[in-house]
Structure formats: C-alpha cells, structure tokens
Chains A and B, each alone.
Chain A
Amino acid sequence: MTTFLLRRLAGIALTLLVICAVTFTIFYLLPNDPAQAFCGKDCTPDHVAQVRQQMGLNRPLIVQFGNYVWAIFAGRTMGSGSFAVHCGFPCFGYSFQTGMPVWSMITDRLPISVSLAIGSAVLWLAMGLLAGVVSALRRNSWVDRVLMIGTIGAAAMPVYFTAMLLLYFFCSQLGLIPYPRYVNFTDDPVGWAQNMLLPWITLALATAAMYARMTRSSVLETLSEPFVRTARAKGLRERRVVNKHGLRPALTPVVTMLGMDLGGLLAGAVITEQLYGLPGVGKLFADALHKSDQPVIMGVTLVASFFIVTSNLVVDVLYAWIDPRARLS
C-alpha cells in the first residue's frame, strides 16, 4: 500500500509539473503581450520594454518557469526598494492587476466556489439517486421512461440557457426570489441560501442525469447478481433485499464519479459563476483571462489541477483499500 501511495504521489507531482509547463508555454506563445496590456493606452515601445523588464518577462522562458516553480515552495521577494514584499509558501506570485498575492485571492474566492459545488452536489445526488433507483425498480414502466427522458432533457440544456429560463421565471415573471447576488454566509445565512438556490439548481440539473443513469444501470446490475438471488432465496423481504444488499454495492461507482466531479467543481464553475455574478474562483479565472493577468491564470489553473488530481487519488486510494486488486494497476 505504501509503494502504491508513493507511486501515485509521484505521478501527481509530475502531472502538476506538466500542467504548469504547458500553461506557462501557452501563455508565453500567445500574441497578447501582458506588458503592453499593463502599460496602458498609447504606450511607447520604450516604455513597454521597461515594463517588460520590470515584470521579468524579458528573461528566457525556462528561467521564468524555473523561478516560478521554485517560488511556489521556497517563496520569493517581489518588488524592490522599500516596497519589496516577501511571498511565502505557497507563493503563486502577485496579480498584475491588483498587486495582491494570488494565493490569497484564490483562498478568498474558494468558499464561494466550494459552497456552490457542495450545494449543487447535494441537489444532484438527491435528484439523480432518487430518479435512478426508482427507474431501476420500475424498469421499463412509464415512470422509468418519463424519468430517463426528463433527466436527459435537463442535461441536454446548456447551463446558460437553464440559467436564463430560471431567472426569467423565478425572478422576473413570478418574483419569487430576488435576482441573485452574492451574500456572505456569515452575514445572512438565509439570504445566502436564497441567493445560491438558482445557481445550485442550474448546476444540479446539468449533472443529475448522469447520476440517474449510472445509478439505474448499477442498481439493475447489482440486483441481477447471484448474492441478491441468494438473499431473495433466503426469504428476505424485497425492501430489505434492495436496501441492504442491492443499493450499497450499486453506489460505489456513483461515489467515484462524485469524487471526480466535486474535484473539478471546487476550483470554480466558470459559466455558472459568470451568469449569476458569483465572485468565485471561476469568475476570478474568467476576469484574469480577460485582463491577461498571467499570475492569476497560472495560480487558478494549478489549484484546479491540484483538486482534480487529488480527488482522483482519494478515489483510487479508497478503491485500493476496498479492493486489493486495484493496487496492481
């Protein structure tokens, strides 16, 4: 198990390094010059060159990259003179735009993205599991068909379309909820939930179908396993057969999928956050892209990748722990 863990951790480190290198290179190759953007409107070429030097963009790519990776762990001192500031571990540099440490900008936005991810996960799990189990137990009935067509229909709608529909009906026509704006949980928990409701539903509708379908097929598969037949043969009641013997093993693949989906969402749902004006990591990323704020783009990309590979690892470890055969793969 230790060798397995070590091997996976080394794999993670390598993956992150490759992602870092690729993002760095892409940014370097883009014709959009951050020094020009930073410099202002009718900036002279001399001044742009000065800015480029100040931002360290004139050094060879490999040196910039080396410094960047080294700084994440060892930190570095940014700026000069009396305004030099030390950026400690994990140092992702400073935003070109705001001058603030990238890490603190991300951690500041993280709770919003996390609450969006977890809230919608609860919703889509509830919807997906319920629809999946009911469909499986009423296989080929009209209930099954309606549920499966309904969920696939919801998943087929693009997130921005769902969001516009929800806003139109709930906020504009019916006036049931105010137009969403971000409220701090600590300031007003009820207002917070009220404002997060539509974003949660939007994301959940887009995701629930996959869970419903997977739960359905997984439950069907389990119910046809010999041990279920044995349980029935022992004379157990159907409810107990389904709850105790059918559902539990059927949920393993669902948990795997949940782990990976959550990992991806923690670093922000870019479109949903933009649509509802939620100042989460996804919106931070979109704004940074727009303003060529390289340190922020890099920082968010790395943190997002970290979440995804880590959630993969957690899922793998859980699997390996449950099923020793997985350790060999």
Chain B
Amino acid sequence: MKAPILRPVAEHGLLVDYGDRFDRAIWARLIDLDARLSSETVPGFVEAVPAATSLLVRFDPMTTDHAKVGAALLVLLAVPPGEEQRHTRAHVVDVCYDGTLAPDLVEVATRCGMSTEDVVSAHLNSECHVQMYGFAPGYAYLAGLPAPLHLPRKTAAKRDVPKGSVLIAGQQCLVSTLTMPTGWWIIGRSPTAILTGDETRPFLFDVGDRVTFRRISRDDYDRCLT
C-alpha cells in the first residue's frame, strides 16, 4: 500500500492524505490508524477526524509540532494492522418506507428502473458502514448502497426536509438529524435517534461501525415517536 502524504494544517494539524480515490483497503488502514491515536502514541494529540481517504490529526501546538507528530504517525503507520483492530459494532436502523414519509421513493424507482418494492428490498439488503460524519452534527455517511440504487444528487436541494429522513445519493445513505435542506433522495423516515441524548454516548455510531436497515410499518413508526 502506498504511503500517505502528511500535509500541514495551520499550527495545529496534519492531514494524513491517501489521495483522491476511495479504496476499501486504504480506508481500513485509516480507521485502524484512527483507533491507535492517543496522547500516549502521539504526545500532544487533541483529536482525529476520519474521512473517506484522509484523516485529520489535530494536536496542541504549545507542546508539540508538525515534525514530532508526523514522526509519531509514521511509527504507527509502520505497524501493520493486525489483531488489535478496533472492535466495530453493528447497528440496526428502523426505516418506514410508507407514503408521505418516503416522498422520493416513486421517482427513485423510476430512475433506477425498478419497482418501489425492489428499491426497498435493495435498501434493506445493503450492508453499510459508517464512513465518516460531516455536514452537520450527527450526519453519518453510510457507505455501501448496492449499485442499482446509485443515483446522482438532485439538481436542486429541497428545503426543510424533516429530521430522521433516510436519504440516498451515490453509494451513500444517511439518516438526517436536523430539519435542513438536502439534494439527496428521500426514501423513508427513521425513528432511530443518531443523536441519542445520552451524555455518556451522545452519538449512536462510531466511524467504522456496520449498519443495516429494518423495515417498520407506519404504525410502528408512529408508536416509536410517542
């Protein structure tokens, strides 16, 4: 595997950059590196932000610098990923695909050349993983949608899309956590809270976790919310 480039970011960061092309093995390497980062392995470590092909490592410029952090990262990268890989968890996200909760389901089906039931089955059969968070608090990008569901984003964003909407675009899916505009396709609604409200575990997923979907009825959905 090629070595990443370490790019400085102001006085407080290094971007571990594997380039512009997503590759599952490289991503696994990034997630493994992410799991190994601590103030013991990288003195002055503050936080890490994983993404698809890069990982931002932020540090305290009062106690360390780019060169020292870079050297510590190279030491970690020299260790092949092995047994001590982070334990990733599996989550099941409930989705209701009915009527008004799935305003784009019919158009997605038309564009994919499938029936709406086939779109739902394909979504239910996908095995996603949390690739990164971004955009807004709790917006977890779930990668791994099956190819028949890959659609480009809409040309214009729709406003005030309710939180909990199940959105797809490209090979990604996400469950929105805020009522916000989106250009992604809305194929359902989930009562599963990604922002858990639990102070000890405020976010349901960690990057790297696996996610599958379970279909629920409109009645179940309404019951979950009461």
| A and B are interacting partners | no
